[in-house]
Amino acid sequence: MFKKDMFNRREITRPVPASSMADIAFLLLIFFMVTTTIVDESGILVRLPTWNPEAPIMQLKDQNVLSIYLNKFDQLMVEERIIDADALPEVVRQFILNPSKSPTLSTSPKKAVISIKNDRGSSYHKYIDVYDGIVKCFARLYDDKARERYGHSFTSCTEDEKSALKTAYAMIISELEAESEVLNGELP
């Protein structure tokens, strides 16, 4: 008799309270919004030139290109000479300005090209140090020229003055694709 009643009895379905489910969903939403973090991507801010497929390929004189190479041991080589990263801004400055009119340095600040190449084994931190050294050099060039030409710092210049200074000392940086085992990771 017990079995008979058990199978014949209809199961009573109870409604699921929708308000409680909405509350739980809301609490879960708040929980994930509070506990997750959004990673702020950082990188090097660079304005690239507009792409023009019909632009002629320019041949550069070796004299106007400063070759910088960062090997897998994080050693900085400028024109195949090892230098300290702290000396890089001054080396770049001398190359661009060429005060001694050396035939191995740039013929004009407008024609100077800085070429950076790194080994895939080099560290990102060291690469950023190299790039930062180049940018510091140009910042110093802009500031010196602003003081000479306008009598105040580059940061105090108007947009037109800044544009004129950036035209006088164009920051042309050529980044070559990273390679593995260039020079077999050894210094010449």
Q: Position 63: which residue type?
A: Q
Question: Is residue 130 one of the residues assigned to a domain?
Answer: yes
Domain total of the chain = 1
Question: Is residue 3 one of the residues assigned to a domain?
Answer: no
Question: Is residue 140 one of the residues assigned to a domain?
Answer: yes
pLDDT tens digits, residue range 111-121? 899 999 999 88
Could you tell me which of 44, 93, 90, 92 has the C-alpha nearest to residue 67? 92
Question: Can you list the alpha helix ranges (DSSP code H) found in 36-158?
Answer: 88-97, 124-150
Range of the domain at 137: 63-179
Could you tell me which of 46, 73, 74 has the C-alpha nearest to residue 135? 46
On whether the CB atoms of residues 65 and 113 are closer than 8 A, the answer is: yes
Question: Is residue 121 one of the residues assigned to a domain?
Answer: yes
pLDDT tens digits, residue range 74-107? 999 999 899 998 999 999 999 999 999 998 889 9
Question: Is residue 26 one of the residues assigned to a domain?
Answer: no
Entry pTM: 0.68
Question: Is residue 75 one of the residues assigned to a domain?
Answer: yes
Question: Is residue 29 one of the residues assigned to a domain?
Answer: no
